[in-house]
Structure 1
């Protein structure tokens, strides 16, 4: 589906599917159940993807594409390097807020969806490295090794993504990203 443009109706259906899965997870749903909840036919769902598994992956990809656009828009609205790091990680936190625990657990248990989340986490870690490097180059941040700070951020992001941090701290993914933003900015500020 990714290689072709969606109709307005398909885009609306995909948006509603994403909202449903984020709120309730996906492991318990059948295609019949999804069709009923979304008030469409299974044939209509098959136009989005060839199976329930493919539909879930497409919904997860769609969600993260939109989340990435929203995050980058927030970064583009900021000027100073510290504000950009804060804006980036806080926007990530905002985008993760609607993800229910059920959805996160289902995603962790379903390798194709988990791989989408992991790839997005890796891209986020790389973006943090870039933002730190920009701040160091501009002389706004201490002369830290941006690659090292990025790796620390990446390790933390992986623990957030895998649910390890939530299990140990009780913080939601969103709260953990907000804490990470504060920690990084304070660590690199002069």
Structure 2
């Protein structure tokens, strides 16, 4: 295959993953068969099999694609903010914005499907670690109260896990994106000097 052909193949794969993410975010995925997905994307099942060997692997790959893109966008937003409080707020609110397009059905399917849930859980752990590092930086610079960053991050991680497991939505009625905004407000007001 020529380089131009390889680039076209890579671009087509990325386009398919973007279309799959949009479809899954809007409508969920548990109820779809591979035939349904192929029909909706106007492609063949063999095209889908080129992306993943079965539906579970496809769901996993699409979920990874979604979170990889979300992480890149969150970090890009974070790069434009200065000050510890602003950076924490920007980070958590940006995480929430990345989840805004996700329909309740997508979130429920992700919580109920092990291959997708594992990806969400891993990304939740990474996000909690990122918050811990932002808190540590803020405490070290004197911009934030001297708190035990690991403890605060553990509390944040617990809330993030509850958001991910749909417990916050059930208890409060808040969508995941709204819950992240509320968490950002609570955390930054509690940490400022």
TM-score (norm 2): 0.95
Give structure 1 regions of 4+ aligned residues with deviation exceeding 6 angstroms: none
Aligned-pair CA distance for 1:87: 0.5
Aligned-pair CA distance for 1:128: 0.4
For residues 56-75 of structure 1, the aligned pairs below 5 Å read: 56-75=59-78
Aligned-pair CA distance for 1:96: 0.6
Q: Confirm whether residue 54 of structure 1 aligns to residue 61 of structure 2.
A: no
- Quote the residue 1:11 is aligned against: 14
* 2:112 counterpart (88, 109, 123): 109
Over aligned residue pairs, what C-alpha RMSD do you find?
1.2
Q: Secondary structure at the match of 2:137?
A: helix
* 2:165 counterpart (162, 165, 174): 162
* 1:121 counterpart (111, 124, 129): 124
Q: Confirm whether residue 40 of structure 1 aligns to residue 64 of structure 2.
A: no
Whole-Å separation in 1 of the counterparts to 2:151 and 2:162 = 17
Q: Secondary structure at the match of 2:49?
A: helix
Gaps of 5+ in 1: none
Count of aligned positions: 187
Q: Secondary structure at the match of 2:92?
A: helix
- Quote the residue 1:179 is aligned against: 182
